[in-house]
Amino acid sequence: MKSTVILISGRGSNMASLIDTVADGSLPVRVAAVLSNRPDAPGLEIAASRGIPTRVVDHTQYSGREAFDAALAEAIDAYAPDIVVLAGFLRILSDDFVMRYAGRLINIHPSLLPAFPGLHTHQRALDEGVRIHGCTVHFVTPTLDHGPIIAQAAVPVLDGDDAARLAARVLEMEHRLYPLAIRWFAEGRLSVVDGRVALDAEQDAAVKLISPRVPECR
Ligand code: GRF
């Protein structure tokens, strides 16, 4: 069974959904450890309460990004994971770090990439007036939020939404999408061809997009 290390910086709800999906038998990986760059990340306690080893690599204790990334890589490599999962990990990683884990470093981003890379995605989606928003699971490459897309989930933007309401609607989908995408990877069903992700033949292509029904559009 593939093993994974999950990196977090904060509340860890995606991490919790992954751990819970592993626990209920629907995600065939072993979560070897949860690492955080912030000692006060609430997700650390959640992981510990579910019996997962945790470790902090505090970025404020290092002189710069290279030194921090080297310490982080050392902490990760101690668990020899097959998959490194970013789940709300809020540090920009150096190219060397990204290349070290190339092809097995996966992130979830709260927008339908390539729209809205970076921060404040929900407010920016509202400001642009888009009618469909969502989240993306992708392989990490040196260009921020631009790696090959594994799967996406869409949600409608509804009248009266503010960033918090829209974020909550997207987050619900994140919690479904991330375990699914990691499962495909863990089962060896994904390959990257010409910078695009292909799923194996058994997989229905339609599953790459999760979308709830929009009541007005039935
Ligand atoms: C999520 O919206 C994720 O897409 C983004 O950061 C947020 C982390 O939330 N990368 P949580 O810590 O998983 O609750």
pLDDT in tens, 42-59: 999 999 999 999 999 999
**Residue of 59, 109, 122, 175 with catalytic role:** 109
pLDDT in the model for residue 213: 57
- For residue 216, what is the enclosing H or E element? none
Total-model pTM: 0.94
- What value does the mean pLDDT take over residues 65-89? 97
- What value does the mean pLDDT take over residues 63-68? 95
- Three-state secondary structure along 57-122? CCHHHCCCHHHHHHHHHHHHHCCCCCEEEECCCCCCCCHHHHHHCCCCEEEEECCCCCCCCCCCHH
* Contact present, 104 and 84 (Cβ < 8 Å): yes
Cα(72)–Cα(37) distance, integer angstroms: 8
Per domain, the residue ranges of the chain are 2-199
pLDDT at 209 over 70: no
Q: Is the CB of 88 under 6 A from ligand 1?
A: yes
Q: Is the CB of 110 under 6 A from ligand 1?
A: yes
109 flagged as catalytic: yes
Closest ligand 1 atom to the C-alpha of 15?
A: 13
Cα(52)–Cα(110) distance, integer angstroms: 25
Q: Amino acid letter at 133?
A: H
CA of 174 to the centre of ligand 1 (A): 8
What CATH class is the domain 2-199?
A: alpha beta
Q: Name 107's bridge partners.
A: 86, 138
pLDDT in the model for residue 212: 61
How much of the chain exceeds pLDDT 90, in percent? Answer: 90
pLDDT in the model for residue 218: 44
String of b and e for 181-199 (b: at least 16 CB within 10 Å)?
bbbbbbeeebeeeeeebeb
Pocket test for ligand 1, best of 7, 13, 92, 140 (most atoms within 8 A of CB): 13
- What value does the mean pLDDT take over residues 134-159? 96
- Three-state secondary structure along 127-162? HHCCCEEEEEEEECCCCCCCCCEEEEEEEECCCCCC
